[in-house]
Amino acid sequence: MKITRLELSQYRNYEKISVQLDYPICVFMGENAQGKTNLLESIYVAATGKSFRTSKDSDLIRWNESFTHIHLDYWKKDIRHRISLSLAPNEKRYKLDDKKLDKRSQLFGQLAIVLFTPDDLNLVKGEPATRRRFLDFEISQTSPSYLYSLQRYYRVLKQRNTALRDAKYKKSSIELVRIWNSQLAQYGAEIIHARQNALFKLNQTLDGIFPEVSGKTSQLTLIYKTFLQDDLLLDLNSLKKKFLDKLIKMEHEELARGTTLMGPQRDDFEVLLNQRSIHDFGSQGEQRSAVLALKLSEIYFIQEEIGDFPVILLDDFTSELDDSHVISIIRSLPRNLQILITSVHTLPHPFSDADVRYYLIKEGQLAGKGEPLPG
Ligand SMILES: Nc1ncnc2c1ncn2[C@@H]1O[C@H](COP(=O)(O)OP(=O)(O)O)[C@@H](O)[C@H]1O
Ligand SMILES: [Mg+2]
């Protein structure tokens, strides 16, 4: 997939801009706090309906303004598309090719993206929720049915939790809990199954990628941690049956605690370097390489699932890595994908000038429009 044009009105610190992005590598340069990340963020918002920096949509509207619009033109498998998003307080509208979309989930996966930010280190260092989000985001972009299961699961979970809470005072609520069990196990099994499959595929890719990124022959492995049975690939029906059995076994305790105590909402995956937890034993450098390898394998996962490369967004990429590392990583990416990069300095790039365009961002404006290499 390739983005060809981005138009913003009243987005963050941008009043109005229109940028032609018809190049394999687009580098947005500028001092701090000029709007580089805001620009990448707007693309992320157009692709997913949400920001990676804030959960408050109103933050995206330029201060003292009442709305914001984002338009994004892109190619997907030789077909042109256009996503439009408008946001006003308490109102959010999506359009794909001038057709109105009813739900955010319909937008998801139209334009697949993979975002790299300095925060990615949390994939190794952070909470299980960060890793679940990584998996859910990646799989949802390739599978609308996964997103559907996920949404259904959380809805059922909420209702079941309410029933568990009420059961303390109302005997009849126990029946309700049992009624929800079947759906919880069904959607839950679908989620676990898809996540285990995704990790299986990521592991295959990591075998090749990690040595390349780290310069070592070490092996990086991801292991799904679930309350059912860790890292055992079961078929969907067996998973569902195990889930149901577990719910029955745990009923007493769940009633006492008044909430659902297990399920994919608590699962995690572990990152092992040569069979040892990289969280506990990895050096800073190893952890960084692991995260990078993980994100790179996400690119190939999406490509294999949907038959097209996602657009890559690299925020502040060079701040964390030395220049030679940057070159080798960009070199390792397939040449036919599009990469949008923000950076405070010129990128040491290994490609011909024709491939790279520089954009200078200053106070929410485009000072240089798609210049070839400066100097
Ligand atoms: N809703 C908004 N309206 C206007 N300006 C905003 C809004 N949100 C953030 N900003 C401004 O955007 C700037 C930060 O932009 P950012 O893209 O993070 O900078 P950088 O170029 O360092 O990546 C800050 O100066 C901030 O005050
Ligand atoms: Mg920034």
Is the distance from the beta carbon of residue 34 to the nearest atom of ligand 1 less than 6 Å?
A: yes
Residue positions counted in the chain: 375
pLDDT band at 326 (very low <50, low <70, confident <90, very high): low
Ligand nearest to the CA of 319: 2
Higher local confidence (pLDDT), 141 or 336: 141
What pLDDT does residue 334 have?
81
Ligand 1 atom 13, closest CA: 33
Q: Letter for the amino acid at 277? A: S
Tell me, what CATH number does 349's domain have?
3.40.50.300
Higher local confidence (pLDDT), 109 or 161: 161
- The 10s digit of each residue's pLDDT in 162-194 is 999 999 999 999 999 999 999 999 999 999 999
Checking if the pLDDT of 88 tops 90, the result is: yes
Q: Among candidates 275, 373, 298, 361, which has minimal Cα distance to 42? A: 361
Give the pLDDT mean for 336-356: 77
What pLDDT does residue 118 have?
86
Q: Domain boundary at 270, 305, 340, which? A: 305
For a ligand 1 pocket test, name from 34, 38, 313 the mutation site with the most ligand atoms within 8 angstroms of its C-beta. 38
Give the pLDDT mean for 86-105: 94
Helical (H) or strand (E) element with 10: strand 2-11
For residue 363, how far is its CA from the centre of ligand 1 (angstroms)?
Answer: 9
Is residue 149 located within the same domain as residue 204?
Answer: yes
For a ligand 1 pocket test, name from 34, 43, 68, 313 the mutation site with the most ligand atoms within 8 angstroms of its C-beta. 34
Is residue 280 located within the same domain as residue 336?
Answer: no
Checking if the pLDDT of 349 tops 80, the result is: no
Ligand 1 atom 19, closest CA: 33
For residue 33, how far is its CA from the centre of ligand 1 (angstroms)?
Answer: 6
Is the distance from the beta carbon of residue 357 to the nearest atom of ligand 1 less than 6 Å?
A: no
Is residue 255 located within the same domain as residue 143?
Answer: yes
What pLDDT does residue 280 have?
95
The CA distances from residue 315 to 52, 226, 244, 271, 312, in Å, are 11, 32, 43, 24, 10
- The 10s digit of each residue's pLDDT in 193-207 is 999 999 999 999 999
Higher local confidence (pLDDT), 277 or 354: 277
What pLDDT does residue 321 have?
62
For residue 3, how far is its CA from the centre of ligand 2 (angstroms)?
Answer: 20
353-358 own/partner pairs: CB under 8 Å, 24+ apart:
355/23, 355/24, 355/25, 356/23, 356/24, 356/25, 356/26, 356/27, 357/23, 357/25, 357/26, 357/27, 358/27, 358/29
Is residue 22 located within the same domain as residue 152?
Answer: no
Tell me, what CATH number does 300's domain have?
1.20.1050.90
Is residue 207 located within the same domain as residue 64?
Answer: no
Domain range enclosing 90 = 1-112+308-375
Is residue 241 located within the same domain as residue 270?
Answer: yes
Ligand 1 atom 14, closest CA: 33
CA 86 to chain centre: 22
The DSSP line for 167-196 is: TTT-TTHHHHHHHHHHHHHHHHHHHHHHHH
Helices 128-142 and 284-306 sit at what angle, rounded to 10 degrees?
20
Checking if the pLDDT of 109 tops 90, the result is: no
Is the distance from the beta carbon of residue 12 to the nearest atom of ligand 1 less than 6 Å?
A: yes
Is the distance from the beta carbon of residue 37 to the nearest atom of ligand 1 less than 6 Å?
A: yes
Is the distance from the beta carbon of residue 64 to the nearest atom of ligand 1 less than 6 Å?
A: no
Is residue 93 located within the same domain as residue 161?
Answer: no
Q: Are strands 268-273 and 220-225 parallel, antiparallel or unpaired?
A: antiparallel
* CB-CB contact of 142 with 170 (8 Å): no
Checking if the pLDDT of 369 tops 90, the result is: no
Q: Can you tell me which atom of ligand 1 is nearest the CA of 63?
A: 3
What pLDDT does residue 298 have?
96
Alpha-helical runs (H) found in the chain: 36-48, 104-107, 122-125, 128-142, 144-166, 173-214, 236-257, 278-281, 284-306, 317-320, 323-332
Q: Domain boundary at 245, 280, 305, which? A: 305
Percent pLDDT > 70 in the chain is 92
Is residue 255 located within the same domain as residue 136?
Answer: yes
Higher local confidence (pLDDT), 229 or 39: 39
What is the overall mean pLDDT for the chain? 92
Is the distance from the beta carbon of residue 318 to the nearest atom of ligand 1 less than 6 Å?
A: no
- The 10s digit of each residue's pLDDT in 119-158 is 899 999 999 999 999 999 999 999 999 999 999 999 999 9
What pLDDT does residue 214 have?
86
Checking if the pLDDT of 64 tops 60, the result is: yes
What pLDDT does residue 277 have?
97
What pLDDT does residue 320 have?
60
What pLDDT does residue 375 have?
44
Is residue 101 located within the same domain as residue 130?
Answer: no
Return phi, psi of residue 57, to 5°: -55, -35
Ligand 1 atom 7, closest CA: 12
Is the distance from the beta carbon of residue 62 to the nearest atom of ligand 1 less than 6 Å?
A: yes
* CB-CB contact of 43 with 69 (8 Å): no
Ligand 1 atom 9, closest CA: 12
- The 10s digit of each residue's pLDDT in 65-76 is 999 999 999 999
Higher local confidence (pLDDT), 292 or 5: 5
- The 10s digit of each residue's pLDDT in 4-36 is 999 999 999 999 999 999 889 899 999 999 999
**Number of structural domains the chain divides into:** 2
Is residue 212 located within the same domain as residue 301?
Answer: yes
Is the distance from the beta carbon of residue 53 to the nearest atom of ligand 1 less than 6 Å?
A: no
Is residue 300 located within the same domain as residue 260?
Answer: yes
Is residue 149 located within the same domain as residue 286?
Answer: yes
Ligand 1 atom 16, closest CA: 35
* CB-CB contact of 335 with 352 (8 Å): no
pLDDT band at 229 (very low <50, low <70, confident <90, very high): confident
* CB-CB contact of 271 with 126 (8 Å): no
Q: Domain boundary at 258, 290, 305, which? A: 305
